Amino acid sequence: MSGAIATYDLIVIGAGIVGASCADAASADGLRVAIVEPGPIGGGATAAAMGHLVAMDDDPAELALARYSLQQWEAFAELKEAEFSRCGTLWVARGEAELDAAALRVARLGAAGVEAHLLDAKTLYELEPALAPNMSGGMLVPREAVVYPPRVARYLVQRAQSCGAHLYAGRSVQTLIRGGAQLDDGTTLSGPVLVATGCALPALLPQLPMRARKGHLVITERYPNLLRHQLLELGYADSAHGDADSSVAFNVQPRPTGQILIGSSREFSATDAAVSPAMLQRMLERSFSFIPALRGLQALRAWTGFRPTTPDGRPYLGAVPGTTDQWVAAGHEGLGVTTALGSARLLLDLIQSRPPAIDPSPYAPSRMAA
C-alpha cells in the first residue's frame, strides 16, 4: 500500500465512542468514510468508562447536548450489544442544603424536558435500602440508563462498515496534510478529516489544548439486588467540574449482571496509568460512607482511564480554526458516552451545511483561537 492514495468524503481519525458515532452518522448520510484506528475499537477512554447516560444540568450548553444525545440513545434501548439497562439515576442528598439544591436541579432538568423527581428520605430508603442512615432525600431521574460503551463503539463501526466505510485497523495517522492524512504505512488518504482522538488530540492538533484527567474504577463480583439505581452524590458536580487537582465522589452503578461498578476519582497531575492505592482507598472510603455494605464485597478488578478535558470543560465540535476541511470532535471529558451520538449528529450537520438541531456555538473550537 506504500505510496497509495485513497479518496474519501470523510476520514474519521479515532474509533472511540465519539469517532465511531461520527463514522456511523457519516455512513448513514451516504458519505464514503474511512476510519483510522491504531488500537482496539473503543479501547481508550471508551473502554475505561462507566457507560452512564446522564444529563448534567450545571452548564446549559452541556445539558442541551446531553438531552439531544439521550433522545438518540433511545434507538439503542433494545439492542443486545448495547447492554442497555434503564436503572435510572438516583442522586443522594446528604443534608438539607443538598436537598434544596436538588429541588433547583429538578426544575432545571424539567425545563429541559428531562423527567426528574424530588424524593423525601422515606422514599429514598424505599428505593435504595442499602444507603447509610441520615441521608436527607434525593432526586430520581427515572429514564436514564447505563450501557456497555466499547461494545457499542464496535457495533457502530461495524454498522458504518456495512454501509461501505473502510476501517484502517492497526494504522495510525502520522500527519495531517493539506487535503487529507498520511498513515504510518505510507498510505495517503485524501479528503476532509475529522479528528476524534480524545486525549491524543495534541499529537495532530496541538493548537487545541487538551489535558488528560485520570480516573479509577473498581468492579465487584456479582451481588444482585443489593443496588437498583445508578447512584451519585448530589455534591458530584463539585468534584466533576471543580478545579481541584484531585477529588473523589460517590458514583456507584449496578451492572445488569449484578456486578457493582464503583467510582469515581479525578486527577490532573497523575500521568501514569497505574492504579494508585491511595486514590483507590480514598474513592472506596467515599463510597462506603454512602453504602456501608460495599465494604464487605469482593472486588474483581480495578483500572484507570483518562478523560479528555478541555480548558472550559466543553468538547470541541466543529471546524478546526484556520484550516479547510479539518473537523474535530474531542474533549468530552466524563460525558463522552452520553453525548457521542448527539455530537456526531451535530458535526455531520455542520459538515453537510445543514442547520443543526441545537446551537453549535458553545462547542466551536474557534473559541480557543480568540
Partner 1 sequence: MSSTVRLSVNGQAVDVPVGASVAAAMAQVSLHFRRSVGGTSRAPLCGMGVCFECRVRIDGVAHVRACMTPVREGMQVQSHD
Rule CB under 8 A: which residues touch partner 1? 221-223, 257, 296-298
φ and ψ at residue 318, rounded to 5 degrees: 150, -165
Which residue number, 166 or 222, has a Cβ lying nearer to partner 1? 222
Question: Of the two residues 277 and 296, which places its CB atom closer to partner 1 in the complex?
Answer: 296
Residue 6 or 297: the one with the smaller Cβ distance to partner 1 is: 297
Give the nearest distance from C-beta 51 to partner 1 in angstroms: 17
Q: Please give the DSSP secondary-structure letter assigned to residue 272.
A: S
Are 247 and 233 in contact by the 8 Å Cβ rule? The answer is no
- Looking at the Cβ atoms of 221 and 238, the one nearer to partner 1 is 221
Nearer to partner 1, 301 or 354 (CB): 301
Q: Name the residue nearer to partner 1 (CB basis): 110 or 224.
A: 224
Q: How far is the CB of 314 from partner 1 (least distance, A)?
A: 38
Q: How far is CA 313 from CA 214, 263, 266, 307, 352, in A?
A: 15, 20, 14, 11, 26
Helix axes 17-28, 149-162, angle to 10 degrees: 30
Q: Nearest-CA neighbor of 88 among 128, 136, 152, 141?
A: 141
Least spacing, CB of residue 222 vs partner 1, in Å: 7
Cβ count near 166 (within 10 Å): 16
Task: Supply the minimum distance, in Å, between the C-beta of residue 87 and partner 1.
Answer: 18
Q: Give the separation between CA 80 and CA 328, rounded to whole angstroms.
A: 30
Where are the alpha helices (H) located in the chain, listed in sequence order? 17-28, 45-48, 60-73, 96-111, 121-127, 149-162, 201-204, 236-241, 277-290, 336-351
Contact 171/160 with Cβ under 8 angstroms? Answer: no
Smallest separation (angstroms) from partner 1 to the CB of 148: 13
Tell me the closest approach of the beta carbon of residue 130 to partner 1, in angstroms.
14
Grid coordinates given for 367: 473559541
Pick 188 or 259: Cβ nearer partner 1: 259
How many angstroms separate the CA atoms of 163 and 343, rounded? Answer: 20
> Shortest distance, CB of residue 216 to partner 1, whole angstroms?
22
CB of 144 vs partner 1, minimal distance in Å: 24
DSSP state at residue 351: H
Nearer to partner 1, 126 or 221 (CB): 221
Q: State the burial class of residue 278 (Cβ atoms within 10 Å of its Cβ: 0-12, 13-18, 19+).
A: exposed
